[in-house]
Structure 1
Amino acid sequence: MRQNPSFAMTDVAELRRLIDRNPWTTLVSSTDDGLVASHYAVLLDEDRDDLTVVGHVGRPDDLIHGLGERELLLVVQGPHGYVSPGWYGDGTQVPTWNFVSAHLTGVPEILSTEENLRVLDRLVARFENRMPQPRLLWEPPNDPDYIERLERGTVGFRLTPTKVVAKRKLSQNKTPEVVDTIIAELSSDGAYANPSLADEMRRAHDSMRSAR
């Protein structure tokens, strides 16, 4: 991802927030047969305060990616959306796409069976806890034999990135008045309404304004 200093995202707390809110990621590897991409949910490692993530892949994706043997690129995609030139006011303008994204690169560590089971348990709990009657991993009708068979079909990993490139392109190069207009349009019920992107823009620009 080509970086632009004006859009660079380097604050670890903000990057952790991005990962936590957008756990569905893309895993990319360069193999002898070319590029390979897969899609899996990840979580921040609860024992670390950096950008280390944990997750799993289903077999045989571990072999396809060479998991644990070669570098892996993990792409985190945050809120993104179309920005119309009509929102800029009069004058020559072109449309653009605002977005927040992070690329984490490193060689993953393969988890033990016990660690993988803990990650699987956390993943289920993370998303099921919002349900009115959560179906947690170790609760009936699941039984231990079923869970252990399930685990054997997966490979858990921990990725501590050795390279991080993150970008928050949210109209930082526009005037405050134009930014406010874009946020208002994204917050409306218009054709390109995008409340989550509006929230990210509001958060980023409030931080910029308070730092001035």
Structure 2
Amino acid sequence: MRQNPSFAMTDIAELRRVIEQNPWVTLVADTDAGLVASHYAVLLDEERDDLTIVGHVGRPDDAVLGLGERELLVVVQGPHGYISPGWYPPGPEVPTWNYVAVHLAGVPEILSPAENLVVLERLVARFEEAMPQPRLLWEPPNDAEFLTRLERGTVGFRLTPTRVTAKRKLSQNRPDAVVDTVIAQLEAGSGPYADPRLPMEMRRAHEALRAARGVS
């Protein structure tokens, strides 16, 4: 991902927030057979305050990715959406795409079976908590034998990134009035590109920029 200083994200708290809110990621590895991509959910390591993530892959994806043996690129895709030139003042313009993305790269550590089970338990709890009647990992009819078989079919990993590239392209190069119009159009939109999270990210980014400039 090509970086632009105007769009760079460097604040660890903000990066952690983006990862936490967008746990479905793409894992990319450069293998002897060429580039390979897989898709899994990850979580921030609850025992760390950096950008370390934990997750798992199903067998044989660990072998396909060369997990633990080579660098892994984790692509976190945040809110994104189409920005129409019709939302700008009259004049020559082209459309663009606003987005938030975080790339984490490093060689992952393979977890022990016990550590992997903890991660699996956390993953289930993370996504079941929104259900009206959550089914947690250790609740009946799941039993120890079933969970042992489940764990053996997966490989857990922990990745502490050695390279981080994060980008928040949210119309920071536009005047405040234009940004406000784009946000209003996104919030009112119901088309195929509408994502209510995108204007929220834009508000967050531009409120920080305006506060830095002393603009209310």
**TM norm. shorter chain > 0.5:** yes
CA distance in 2, matches of 1:129, 1:171: 34
Shift in Å, 1:141:
1.0
* Matching residue's letter, 2:3: Q
CA contact (8 A) 1:185 1:193 kept: no
Shift in Å, 1:89:
1.7
Matches within 5 A, 1:149-188: 149-188=149-188
Counterpart of 2:106? 106
Counterpart of 1:140? 140
Shift in Å, 1:143:
0.8
Percent identity of paired positions between Structure 1 and Structure 2: 74
Secondary structure (helix, strand or coil) at the match of 2:6 reads helix
Q: Kindly report structure 1 stretches of 4+ aligned residues shifted beyond 3 Å.
A: none
Counterpart of 2:204? 203
Counterpart of 2:34? 34
Normalising by structure 2, we get a TM-score of 0.97
1:35-60 Cα shifts (integer Å, max 9, x gaps): 00000000000000000000000000
Secondary structure (helix, strand or coil) at the match of 2:168 reads strand
Unaligned ranges ≥5, structure 1: none
1:55-97 Cα shifts (integer Å, max 9, x gaps): 0000000001110010000000000000000001200000000
Secondary structure (helix, strand or coil) at the match of 2:115 reads helix
Shift in Å, 1:190:
3.9
1:138-173 Cα shifts (integer Å, max 9, x gaps): 001111100110000000000000000000000000
Counterpart of 1:87? 87
Secondary structure (helix, strand or coil) at the match of 1:6 reads coil
CA contact (8 A) 1:45 1:53 kept: yes
* Matching residue's letter, 1:11: D
Counterpart of 1:194? 195
Shift in Å, 1:194:
2.4
Equivalent pairs counted in the alignment come to: 212
CA distance in 2, matches of 1:167, 1:157: 25
Shift in Å, 1:211:
1.2
1:164-184 Cα shifts (integer Å, max 9, x gaps): 000000000000000000000
Counterpart of 1:23? 23
Unaligned ranges ≥5, structure 2: none
1:6-39 Cα shifts (integer Å, max 9, x gaps): 0001000000000000000000000111000000
Normalising by structure 1, we get a TM-score of 0.99
Shift in Å, 1:195:
1.1
CA distance in 1, matches of 2:32, 2:101: 27
CA contact (8 A) 1:109 1:159 kept: yes
Secondary structure (helix, strand or coil) at the match of 2:184 reads helix
Shift in Å, 1:137:
0.2
